[in-house]
Amino acid sequence: MEALGLPPLSTLSVSRCRVGVLGRTCYSNHSVPSSLKLSTTHHKRHGVVRMQAYEEEYELKQMKDMAAARKRWEALVREEKVKILSPREAGYAIQLSNKTLLDVRPSTERKKAWVKGSTWIPIFEVDDRFDVGTLSRKITNFMMGGWWSGVPALSYDSQFLTKVEQKFPKDTDLILACQKGLRSLAACELLYNAGYSNLFWVQGGLEAAEEEDLVREGPEPFKLAGIGGLSEFLGWTDQQRVAATKEGWGYRLVFSARLVGVFLVADALFIGAQQLGRYLQDIRSH
């Protein structure tokens, strides 16, 4: 699921959903004292096999949770309990009807681009805790692709509903938006179950918006607010490829230069590691 960049829906929904599908991919990590080291290859292989089996079981559960969540969300839209708006229609509604846009994205996306006058209450936020369990999830998130996509480990804000209720009465017209559309739809379900009846969902999220659809503030276009990591640095995201076709060769040359720089740095590190290895061998031989 987080091919979309999305973490258990158990806390997210009043029904039976797990937040994990919508923020980061988290795996439980049972810490083992360093003194209890496996002494044989057999034990190590057995441990690896068990971990792989656990990860596969977890991913299967995530897929089932996501499928169940999608069915509920589709029912909300099909029964018109949540109304669909395109980004352009949302822009018209904000300007002509003074409807409120509720931005539920994490701060990493919000700080790059936001709709002028929107209210920001993230349903998932970057997990800044540094306890043992959180650190293991961050490492897992990084190893599972965070280094490439730049998507950080996120955690569900259990105060999300309370924050919305403190700011908006339940008869308020609320337009919910996120970067791609999934987190905002999850937020719609949560708010609907809490009694909000005038909910509008921006289909496709802000990433689907053209610059003329909504009044933007922030340093980046809406389409680039959800990218990051090495893929963004090298310009290898779909959004940047589309931008490159509009901007021309100057835009592409910047990323080509970065790619060459990455190869040069990697080559220098490799040569340095070889020289260090030889130096250490010389020390040992003397």
Confidence grade of residue 31 (pLDDT, cut at 50, 70, 90): very low
Cα separation, 65 vs 61, in Å, equals: 6
Cα separation, 208 vs 86, in Å, equals: 8
pTM over 0.85: no
Q: Give the long-range contacts of residues 37-45, CB within 8 A, separation 24 or more.
A: none
Tell me, what's the pLDDT at 138?
A: 66
Cα separation, 42 vs 49, in Å, equals: 11
Confidence grade of residue 29 (pLDDT, cut at 50, 70, 90): very low
Helix axes 160-167, 182-193, angle to 10 degrees: 70
Alpha helices for 28-159 (secondary structure H): 41-78, 87-97, 107-110, 132-141, 147-149
pLDDT digit string, tens, across residues 109-161: 999 999 999 999 999 988 776 666 666 776 776 677 766 666 777 888 999 99
* H or E, element range at 232: helix 229-234
Q: Do 127 and 153 form a contact (C-beta atoms < 8 A)?
A: yes
Catalytic residues: 178
Top mean-pLDDT range of 161-170, 219-228, 230-239: 161-170
Q: Which residues, including other chains, have CB under 8 Å from residue 284's CB and lie 6 or more apart?
A: none
Confidence grade of residue 36 (pLDDT, cut at 50, 70, 90): very low
